[in-house]
């Protein structure tokens, strides 16, 4: 950013030295110098001024785009850190064995200042059974599945897989031992440069 600012200042100083006399001539078109000025010279001066204004606008747009990029990077840096990848004691190598999943009074919110998205969800799924979670848009189906992988942290309650509370399991162990096909596989809505 500093290099860009220095470049813009240097370019501006050079332009002022080069075009100030032309600007002075343009300002005096109505004066004695203007009467002697060749009619073909006036359009070329006008085109030069227009070109310089276009350069200024491009520079302004570039600086604005850089600020937007910095704002996005700053927002990404402010995302709270996930839990630890490995937590001791680690679960046994055979975990999960039966695949029994139990939600106990689970409460989830997407940010501390927001209301709960899941409010006291409790149910048990016996290992080896197939379960469908159905409901209208926004009722928490995706959030329920995301909670299994701790993509969102709990505001209260717990989830147990084979009797082991997943909040006490490292993310690497948890996510490497269960599988999911997400509904929305998008990571970012744009690029860092945008």
CATH 3.30.420.40: does it fit domain 101-177? no
DSSP 3-state assignment of 103?
Answer: strand
Mean local confidence (pLDDT), 143-161:
90
Q: pLDDT tens across 27-84, in order?
A: 555 555 555 555 556 667 777 888 888 888 999 999 999 999 999 999 888 887 788 7
**Phi and psi at residue 101, to the nearest 5°:** -120, 130
Residue 188, CA distances (Å) to 60, 72, 94 in order: 27, 11, 35
Strands 101-108 and 164-165: unpaired
Per-residue confidence (pLDDT) for residue 107, from 0 to 100? 94
Tokens representing residue 138 in the block:
């926004």
Report d(CA 123, CA 103) in Å as an integer. 5
What residue spans define the domains of the chain? 2-77, 101-177
Query: Does residue 3 register a pLDDT over 70?
Result: no
User: How confident is the model over 142-151, as a mean pLDDT?
Assistant: 89
| Lowest model confidence (mean pLDDT) among 3-7, 164-168, 177-181 | 3-7
The per-residue pLDDT for 64 is 93
Predicted TM-score of the model (pTM): 0.56
Q: How far apart are CA 80 and CA 153, in angstroms?
A: 11
pLDDT in tens, 107-141: 999 888 889 999 999 999 998 888 888 889 888 88
């Amino acid at each position: 950013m500093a290099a860009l600012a220095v470049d813009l200042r240097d370019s501006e100083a050079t332009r002022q030295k080069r075009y100030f006399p032309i600007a002075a001539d343009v300002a005096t078109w109505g004066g004695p110098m203007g009467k002697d000025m060749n009619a073909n010279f006036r359009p070329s001066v006008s085109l030069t001024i227009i070109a310089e204004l276009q350069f200024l606008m491009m520079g302004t747009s570039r600086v604005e785009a850089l600020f937007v990029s910095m704002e996005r990077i700053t927002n990404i840096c402010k995302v709270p850190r996930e839990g630890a990848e490995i937590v001791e004691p680690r679960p046994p190598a055979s975990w999960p064995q039966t695949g029994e999943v139990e939600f106990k009074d689970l409460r989830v919110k997407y940010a501390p200042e927001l209301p709960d998205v899941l409010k006291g969800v409790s149910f048990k799924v016996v290992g080896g059974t197939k379960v469908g979670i159905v409901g209208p848009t926004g009722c928490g189906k995706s959030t329920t599945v995301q909670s299994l992988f701790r993509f969102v942290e709990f505001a209260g309650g717990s989830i147990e897989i084979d009797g082991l509370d997943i909040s006490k399991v490292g993310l690497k162990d948890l996510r490497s031992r269960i599988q999911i096909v997400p509904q929305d596989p998008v990571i970012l809505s744009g690029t860092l440069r945008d």
